[in-house]
Amino acid sequence: MTIKPYPLHFKPEFKERVWGGRALEQFGYDVPEGHIGEGWVIADHENGVSHVLNGELAGQGLDEIREKLGAEWFGSAGSRSGNGRFPLLIKLLDCNDDLSVQVHPTDTYERLPKGELGKTEMWYVLDAKPGAKIIYGLQPGVTRDSFAAAIADNRIMDTLQEVPVQAGDTFYIPAGTVHALCAGVLVAEIQQNSDTTYRLYDYDRPGLDGKPRELHVEDSLNVTAYEGAGATRMKTDGAKPNEWLTLAESPYFVTAKGVVSGSWSQETSPASFDILIVAEGAGAIGWGSESIAAKAGDCFLLPATLGAYSLDGSFTVLRSRVPADN
């Protein structure tokens, strides 16, 4: 049976985290009880799968859709990944407390868990409380030896760079970049489809089970890019209406910001699906004679075979694609 392509709207898979809160409720989601830190809004991973809310595929997981339609719907580049699953993982993160100081490996790290990929990612700050900050990279001159010594002496915070953040800030975080989100930020995260994180420091706090969370110091020291991995950050308040502003380019995703004003014609590429995350405002996505409402916190997967579509209304959107030469 042939299914006509249409924008897939997903229900997140929610994750309780020791640092989470209740901020994801503002998007109208039925958030479960507890300290909910992550909503995996587009996910095809053994640790979480998101499910479609609308249309003919309603109720089906992204893993099922990938098996049935991935080669056709995801595009020539978007249907390829290092582990056979959907290539990207899209999250909303509610940082009610500081996250652990952490680093992610590359695809080539020899101690990756079986079936896992490395993890290059980016953040777009949806909201930030006054004085909010993040940890983003090492201080200049930090080496493996000095980093290891600081960790052993409980001086790791002296080696890290802290950066103030505001809504609209973007951070590109290639694998090997030491980083941590801190309390008071709400973030959209676009990343490789990986759940591999190496923790360096967790503030000596108990986890949800009352026990300290595991640290991975040796792996972290092994994968850290001491000379830098190409991390970049930018303010995005200069984005012009109905023009794409590129936020991050990597071998795994290219993400741009658009400020929709009125009606803006778009088209998917045969190489890749489009992922749209609505950052603020409201409007609709139209295709053919149909449309679907879009509001802040919504996330859509538009098949590569969809073709022409429109963004209508007054809202800010993030668009992510897999580069054609992936």
> Which of 85, 199, 233, 319 does the annotation list as catalytic?
199
Tokens matching residue 181 = 């989100």
Tell me, yes or no, if 199 is annotated catalytic: yes
Q: Is 179 marked as a binding-site residue? A: yes
Tokens matching residue 273 = 């699906």
Q: Is 51 marked as a binding-site residue? A: no
DSSP notation for 93-160: EEESSPPPEEE---TT-TTPPTT-----EEEEEEEE-TT-EEEEEEPTT--HHHHHHHHHTT-GGGGE
CA distance 311 to 263: 6
CB 133 within 8 A of CB 182: yes
Q: Is 104 marked as a binding-site residue? A: yes
CB 162 within 8 A of CB 181: no
Longest dimension (CA), the chain: 64
Count how many residues are written for the chain.
326
CA distance 253 to 58: 26
DSSP notation for 281-309: EEEEEEETTEEEEEETT-EEEE-TT--EE
Binding-site residues: 104, 121, 179
Catalytic amino acids? 199
Binding-site residues for Zn(2+): 104, 121, 179
